[in-house]
Chain A
Amino acid sequence: MEIEEGNTSNTHRISKRTILFGVIPFIVIGAMVVLLLNSSGVLFQSSIKPLPEISIEKVQFSENNMITAFVRNTGPSEISIAQADVNDRIYPAAVEPGRTLTRLADAKVIIPFVWNTGEPYTIGITTDDGTRFDKLVNSAAAAPRPTVGQASTFALIGTYVGIIPVMMGLVWYPFIRRLSPNKYNFFLSLTAGLLVFLGIDALLESNEIAVDNLAPAFNAQILIIMVAIVTLITLLYVSQRLIQRASKRSKPDIEYKTEYSSHPEPDLGTRDMKSTSTSFQQQLLIRPIAISMMISIGIGLHNFGEGLAIGAAVLLGEVALSSFLILGFTLHNTTEGLAIVAPMAKSRRIPVAKLIIMGLIAGGPTIMGAWIGGFLYSPIATVIFLSIGAGAIFQVVYSIGSWMYHTNGSRGLLSNHWIIIGFALGMLIMYLTGLLV
């Protein structure tokens, strides 16, 4: 125990009595736990057997005349699976690893069945107390198998949807560099608009998956908010540290555009830096790149979630992958590259290699997401990754917002009509390109 200087010692010394008060709650709660678990229901006896619950998380159709349902016991107690059916007609099936499922355990129910491509099927699972749970698949399609060919197809889709559009967005870098301050603000707020749209989209998307595919036992909706908030505050912390460290180490001989020097810098990241005008000037130069890097990471996380969704959609037969769909995603994602370069427009020249690295960080995860989503879809993982993506995106929006606030100084953000128009237009662009998907 550290004792701060200047404080009286007895406020921080722990007496035996204090220890006792610290321990009593644990003893009482421990005793309650022991009592409740060992009284075998004497205290709070219930004659009502808890209702069983099963979630059919995924249904997979295989080309060798087989339907596989991935089920999880999301009820309060152990259950046993008694029967499987297809379209409410009983069929022989196997359940692996076994028919008895402890709470939250999962199993695979394999039903040999000659299914037809494109037709809807309802898969039903009946538990030992006769309760039937079912899941409708709107259009049966053969699950992609993890072959080299299929993996390359997903990689190609990921390249089209993630890497190419982000890179194309980056190509606008020289163009953005030559913009006047107002137009620059316009593009920055456009970026913020795009990202806010993406963030809300990710939250809605994960909510939809949570409602459709996850049992209430997972509390998935609160999980979404939780993960998004934790991601947001963690990334805020990380980016502040990143900026601080970079500021300390950077050399002071960098070229600097004087137009921003007159504004004060009240940023949290500089609080304990003994702010001098030199370090502040460095800060202004370093921050855009750091912001861009954070945007790349945030978009990377988002695209990972998007890749999962694309792969899963193919796997679940919800989407027939068409060139049109891929084109839609490509247009939609081109704006993401723009988001990355916009904050760097007024800093010194960025080497092409760095831009490419940022592009890969932002776009590359789409491929990995498509692989995982396509071959090993799990709704809970998809929800978590989409929420992380949303949190990451809101962190980026915050960074852009605070950057614009400082560079605009006393004028304030909402008094500049270029910023308002840019923000609105950013969301509109996403909405319109989103219609294509």
Chain B
Amino acid sequence: MSYPRIAVLFGIAISIIVFAISTALYGKSSLSDQNSSKLNTFGGHTPGYPTLQTTGDVLDPTSFVINPKTAVVDPMKYLREFNYGKLSTSSNGTVIRDFTMIASDQQTKEVSPGVFYNVWTYNGTIPGPTLRATEGDTIRITLINNGSKFHSIHFHGIHPSEMDGVFEGIAPGGKFTYQFTAEPFGVFPYHCHMQPLEEHITHGLYGALIIDPKKPRANADEMVMLMNGYDTDFDTENNFYTVNGIPYYYMHHPIQIDQNRLIRIYLLNMLEFDPLNNFHLHANMFNFYKTGTKLIPDEYTDIVTMNQAERGILEFSYKYPGKYMFHAHKTEFAEKGWTGLFLVKEGTNQSINENLNVTSIRNITNYSTTDFNKTSGLVPTGGVN
């Protein structure tokens, strides 16, 4: 055999080895190759996007129902759940409302389908429970700290310094009772005020407190919507945006409401890191009561923008049945979970709207300033009873 022939054979051999290595590398499939028989369908929510079938797993937070056992909250339950506390009456006839809140910081729960995050919670959910009282009631909240760090509850509203939840942290295993008079009426966030504040808030220690005016607002289908986000990879940017704790939840579980029925939403923004958040309602307009501290709407609009801890009350009713979207009109947030649907059912209760005497900003222009102040429920400066 001559030398070039040996060389040629050598060249061929190398080519074969090269080819073998390459096919081995490219052809290698995953070890988790299993149950290839079943076909799952995915995609196709948006016109123009194909619906496909796969032998693998589908990742779709917009249509997946989160496992209720591991989820950080049941958004449907949270939506209309108001906690009025354990009622008692003091000697002078004041209504006392007792609440118990348990802070914890060592649980890992599902915040979006398949995504698990170390959540810090009041009573095990994000957002924490919605507390509700009437103006003038005595509110007593006992905080039990089951966590590994100092925690507190700082309520927005009017109360004495020592009830502010800022300077006195509750040690792990400790207990403290906050007591104050519910005033003024309106919507208030509460949250942990321990340092680092950002960390305690972004992990989930917040919720809503509603103080009703002494003369109740008009009867309505009431709900709470708390806007938040999760920074699951700790880069000070939110990976998920939600209303009521689970991204896209109301997309696959639309909120059912009745046609022409007055809807009242207590809306709060507790979003960390992003300076702004907002709420936009489709195919409708709402009356907006900023901070909920007045009975006269500030604005008739279809979008409201809020900084962190800003809040208000929205009132509207749907004229036509059907599916309507509501979402942040910061589209980034909308496309990372802060999107939901109302399902307006054909109304059986046409008369309810007339009975309610809904005040729209369009027909209050003749209100006098004195009327405005009388109904606003504002407390004079420094007035702590």
Q: Which residues of A contact B (CB under 8 A)?
A: 64-66, 80-85, 88-90, 92-102, 105-110, 112-114, 126, 128-132, 238, 242-243, 245-246, 249-250, 286, 289-290, 293-294, 296-297, 300-301, 304, 354, 357, 361, 365, 368, 372, 376, 378, 380-381, 384-385, 388
Contact = CB atoms under 8 A, between A and B. Distances in A.
Nearest to A108: B56
A390 to B, nearest CB: 14
A246 B8 contact: no
A97 B7 contact: no
Contact of B32 (A100, A112, A128, A378): A100
B7 A99 contact: no
B15 A365 contact: yes
A420 B19 CA distance: 38
In order of increasing CB-CB distance, the 8 nearest A-B pairs are A130-B232, A246-B3, A96-B56, A82-B114, A293-B7, A94-B54, A112-B43, A92-B60
Contacts of B4: 289, 293, 354, 357
A246 B31 contact: no
A89 B335 contact: yes
Given A65-B48, A88-B336, 15 more contacts: A90-B62, A92-B43, A92-B44, A92-B45, A92-B59, A94-B58, A97-B55, A98-B56, A99-B114, A130-B230, A132-B233, A245-B6, A372-B22, A380-B25, A388-B18
Contacts of B48: 65, 114
B21 interface: yes
Interface in B54-69: 54-63
25 contacts: A65-B48, A82-B115, A93-B43, A93-B59, A95-B57, A95-B58, A96-B56, A97-B29, A97-B36, A98-B56, A99-B114, A101-B30, A101-B32, A102-B30, A102-B31, A107-B32, A126-B239, A128-B115, A130-B230, A130-B233, A132-B233, A249-B1, A286-B3, A293-B3, A376-B22
Given A89-B335, A105-B32, A380-B25, A301 B14 contact: yes
B130 interface: no
Interface string B41-56: 0111100111110111
Given A289-B4, A290-B3, A112 B50 contact: yes
B34 A132 contact: no
B59 A99 contact: yes
B3 A376 contact: no
A107 B3 contact: no
B239 A132 contact: yes
A90 B232 CA distance: 14
A367 to B, nearest CB: 12
A88 B55 CA distance: 26
B247 A97 contact: no
A397 B56 CA distance: 50
Contact of A112 (B52, B113, B332, B336): B52
A130 B117 contact: yes
A113 B335 CA distance: 14
Contacts of B111: 130
A93 B239 contact: no
Contacts of B34: 97-98
Contacts of A290: 3, 7
Contact of B61 (A83, A246, A380): A83
A100 B21 CA distance: 26
Interface in B313-357: 332, 335-337
B367 interface: no
Interface string B75-114: 0000000000000000000000000000000000001111
A130 B45 CA distance: 24
A85 B332 CA distance: 12
B54 A96 contact: yes
Interface string B289-313: 0000000000000000000000000
Nearest to A109: B59
Contact of A90 (B7, B58, B117, B247): B247
Nearest to B51: A112
Contact of B239 (A94, A130, A238): A130
A214 B381 CA distance: 63
Contact of A357 (B8, B239, B332): B8
A289 B5 CA distance: 11
B257 to A, nearest CB: 26
Contacts of A380: 25
A90 B337 contact: yes
Contact of B115 (A126, A249, A365): A126
A108 B239 CA distance: 22
Contacts of B51: 112
A155 B268 CA distance: 63
Contacts of B230: 130
B176 interface: no
Contacts of A85: 336
Given A94-B58, A249-B1, A294 B44 contact: no
A4 B229 CA distance: 77
Contacts of A84: 59
A384 B21 contact: yes
Contacts of A294: 7
A224 B302 CA distance: 60
A297 B14 contact: yes
B273 interface: no
B136 to A, nearest CB: 43
- In this complex, the member of A92, A101, A105 whose beta carbon has the largest number of chain B beta carbons within 10 angstroms is A92
Contacts of A385: 18, 22
Given A89-B332, A107-B56, A378-B26, A242 B6 contact: yes
A289 B42 contact: no
Contacts of B3: 242-243, 245-246, 249-250, 286, 289-290, 293
Nearest to B43: A112
A126 B40 CA distance: 20
Contacts of B335: 89-90
A92 B58 CA distance: 7
B6 A246 contact: yes
A123 to B, nearest CB: 13
